[in-house]
């Protein structure tokens, strides 16, 4: 519906609410409440930062990949994550904030990125585990986001999810290959899964009754599921895959619940989660220092590109 330019705020709000009610999209030039704009910027920026910081743990292994084939796969995957970050920064820019401002908020600690990327990658099995569990969690969380209410975010999710599915398959394939190898390789996989299982479940955010943003974000259609719903979906999806791989998920409370037709499982260490998201995880300092250094080292490229564009505009 098109409104006259003099439409007052209550009319604009009614159009916004009707759009949300119909599960339709809010587009960049539509009127939206300031709090909606802020929430989408917060979530999309955090998502973009995660993709960019998320290149570091796996990037750590590119020069030490065990074969040319594994190196080519890993390089392509890490480049995909960079692409995801860039689509998401572009989606965020449609809300009136620049990529430079977003990057500065990341390196100044004013915006978050996913807790998972503050854990170290200690063996090549971690490359497989990240693909299987971290990309697996990302897919569970992001497939519903293809229907998020903010148009540019939902559309960017469609391609990102296709690529994340491929990433998950390559992680699973790497682990399956190692599980068919030597005892030492099988131990490397199990040790890696032991370290990543709980942090992967933390990716879905705090429990619903401790999640300040979920209710409003669901009402606005920004989020389509709660944190606990998606965590449950991840556990139910992963248990049969773990069985097929031959690895044990490190949770003594994990069991099938016939009545709920779902798995019961233990609780992640939420104190550890809080430490990690407040900057005190094992690799927070290193990750931000690395990103800051890359940003500073790239200053001359940005300056040269701006000067070139300005010269083009004068001509
Ligand atoms: N890490 O009220 P809620 C990937 C914060 S996938 C850090 O529940 P919300 C692909 C939250 O921001 C990973 N912080 O918040 C890849 C809030 O703090 P704030 C990225 C977290 O937003 C794979 C506070 O806690 N995916 O990168 C986390 O409603 C492999 C309270 O929480 C996305 O970002 C956390 N895990 O729900 C790349 C998906 N959880 O901002 C490389 C989109 C919560 O008020 C390699 N995001 N917090 O200061 C979302 O779906 C949501 O934002 C949630 C959090 C579910 C993450």
Tell me which of 53, 102, 114 to substitute to probe ligand 1's pocket, judged by most ligand atoms within 8 Å of the beta carbon: 114
Per-residue b or e along 22-55, where b marks 16 or more CB atoms closer than 10 Å to that residue's CB: eeebbeeeeebeeebeebbbbbbbbbbbbbbbbb
281 CA from centroid of ligand 1 (Å): 15
Can you give the C-alpha Rg of the chain in angstroms? 21
Tell me which of 48, 149, 170, 205 to substitute to probe ligand 1's pocket, judged by most ligand atoms within 8 Å of the beta carbon: 205
The confidence score (pLDDT) of residue 313 equals 85
Q: From the centroid of its chain, how far is CA 253?
A: 27
Query: Is the CB of 227 within 6 Å of ligand 1?
Result: yes
User: Tokens standing for 32?
Assistant: 């939206």
Phi/psi zone of residue 157: left (φ > 0), alpha (ψ -120 to 50 degrees), beta?
Answer: alpha
Query: Is the CB of 284 within 6 Å of ligand 1?
Result: no
Give the tens place of pLDDT for each residue, 139-185: 999 999 999 999 999 999 999 999 999 999 999 999 999 999 999 99
Hey, is 107 helix, strand or coil?
helix
Distance, in Å, from the CA atom of 265 to the CA atom of 75, rounded to the nearest integer, reads 35
Q: By C-alpha distance, which of 22, 23, 26, 45 is closest to 36?
A: 26
The confidence score (pLDDT) of residue 275 equals 97
Q: Is the pLDDT of residue 314 over 90?
A: no
139 CA from centroid of ligand 1 (Å): 13
Q: Is the pLDDT of residue 94 over 90?
A: yes
Percent of the chain clearing pLDDT 90 (strictly above)? 96
Provide φ and ψ at 266, rounded to 5°. -75, 180
The confidence score (pLDDT) of residue 21 equals 97
Q: From the centroid of its chain, how far is CA 90?
A: 16
Specify the DSSP class assigned to residue 262.
E
Q: Is the pLDDT of residue 299 over 90?
A: yes
What topology does CATH give the domain 10-314?
A: Ferritin (1.20.1260)
Query: Is the CB of 165 within 6 Å of ligand 1?
Result: no
The confidence score (pLDDT) of residue 315 equals 74
83-106: average pLDDT: 97
Query: Is the CB of 152 within 6 Å of ligand 1?
Result: no
pLDDT interval class at 3 (50, 70, 90): low
Residue with tokens 């995660």, as numbered in its chain: 50
Q: By C-alpha distance, which of 76, 54, 87 is closest to 160?
A: 87
pLDDT interval class at 237 (50, 70, 90): very high
**Is residue 276 classed exposed, middle or buried when 0-12, 13-18 and 19+ CB atoms within 10 A define those classes?**
buried
Q: Is the pLDDT of residue 1 over 60?
A: no
pLDDT interval class at 211 (50, 70, 90): very high
Q: Is the pLDDT of residue 131 over 90?
A: yes
Query: Is the CB of 138 within 6 Å of ligand 1?
Result: yes
The confidence score (pLDDT) of residue 312 equals 87
Q: By C-alpha distance, which of 35, 55, 53, 144 is closest to 102?
A: 53
**Is residue 242 classed exposed, middle or buried when 0-12, 13-18 and 19+ CB atoms within 10 A define those classes?**
middle
The confidence score (pLDDT) of residue 201 equals 98
**Is residue 162 classed exposed, middle or buried when 0-12, 13-18 and 19+ CB atoms within 10 A define those classes?**
exposed
Give me the torsion for CA of 273, 275, 278, 282, rounded to 10°.
-100
User: Tokens standing for 308?
Assistant: 């070139």
Domain boundaries, the chain: 10-314
Query: Is the CB of 206 within 6 Å of ligand 1?
Result: yes
The confidence score (pLDDT) of residue 124 equals 97
| pTM of the predicted protein model | 0.96
């Amino acid at each position: 519906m098109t409104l006259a330019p003099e439409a007052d705020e209550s009319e604009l709000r009614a159009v916004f609410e009707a759009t949300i009610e119909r599960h339709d999209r809010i587009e960049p030039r539509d009127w939206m409440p300031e709090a909606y704009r802020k929430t989408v910027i917060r979530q999309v920026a955090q998502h973009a930062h995660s993709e960019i910081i998320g290149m570091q743990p796996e990037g750590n292994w590119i020069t030490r990949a065990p074969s040319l084939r594994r190196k080519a796969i890993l390089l392509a995957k890490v480049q995909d994550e960079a692409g995801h970050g860039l689509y998401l920064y572009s989606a965020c820019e449609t809300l009136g904030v620049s990529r430079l401002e977003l990057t500065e908020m990341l390196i100044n600690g004013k915006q978050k990125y996913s807790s998972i990327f503050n854990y170290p990658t200690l063996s090549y099995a971690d490359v497989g585990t990240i693909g299987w569990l971290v990309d697996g969690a990302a897919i569970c969380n992001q497939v519903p986001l293809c229907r998020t209410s903010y148009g540019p975010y939902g559309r960017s999710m469609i391609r990102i999810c296709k690529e994340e599915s491929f990433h998950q398959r390559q992680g699973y394939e790497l682990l399956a290959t190692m599980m068919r190898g030597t005892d030492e390789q099988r131990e490397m996989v199990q040790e890696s899964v032991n370290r990543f299982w709980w942090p992967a479940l933390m990716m879905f955010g705090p429990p619903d009754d401790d999640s300040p943003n979920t209710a409003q974000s669901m009402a606005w259609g920004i989020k389509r599921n709660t944190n606990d719903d998606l965590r449950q979906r991840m556990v139910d999806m992963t248990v049969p895959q773990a069985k097929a791989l031959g690895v044990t998920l490190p949770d003594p409370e994990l069991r099938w619940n016939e009545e709920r037709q779902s798995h019961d499982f233990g609780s992640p260490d939420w104190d550890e989660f809080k430490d990690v998201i407040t900057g005190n995880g094992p690799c927070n300092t290193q990750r931000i220092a690395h990103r800051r250094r890359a940003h500073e080292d790239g200053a001359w490229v940005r300056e040269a590109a701006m000067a070139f564009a300005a010269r083009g505009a004068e001509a």
